[in-house]
Amino acid sequence: MLELQTQVQFKNILVATDFSPVAAAAFPFAAKLAQAYGSRIWAFHVAAPTVNPMTDPSSWAILEQAAKARRQEQHQILSASFPGSKPEIVIEEGDFSSILESTMTGPQPAKSSWALLRKRSCAKSHARCSL
User: pLDDT, tens digit, for every residue of 32-70?
Assistant: 989 988 889 999 999 999 998 899 999 999 999 999 999
The pLDDT assigned to 41 comes to 93
pTM higher than the cut 0.95? no
* Per-residue confidence (pLDDT) for residue 2, from 0 to 100: 57
CA angle 85, 69, 64 (to 5 degrees): 130
* Interior angle at CA 67, CA 96 and CA 63, nearest 5: 115
Single-letter residue type at 80: A
Summarize pLDDT for 72-110 with one digit per residue, the tens: 999 999 999 998 889 999 999 999 888 888 888 876 654
Choose the weakest-confidence range: 9-23, 39-53, 83-97, 112-126.
112-126
Which residues, 6+ apart, have CB-to-CB distance to 64 below 8 Å? Answer: 50, 51
* pLDDT, average across residues 6-31: 88
Domain map of the chain by residue range? 12-123
Quick one: fold of 12-123?
Rossmann fold (3.40.50)
Q: Is the dihedral of CA 73, 74, 77, 82 positive or negative?
A: negative
Spell out the residues 6+ positions from residue 111 whose beta carbon is closer than 8 angstroms to its own.
none
> What does the DSSP 8-state code read for residue 55?
S
Query: Looking at residue 102, what is its pLDDT?
Result: 86
Give the pLDDT band of residue 122 (cuts 50, 70, 90): very low
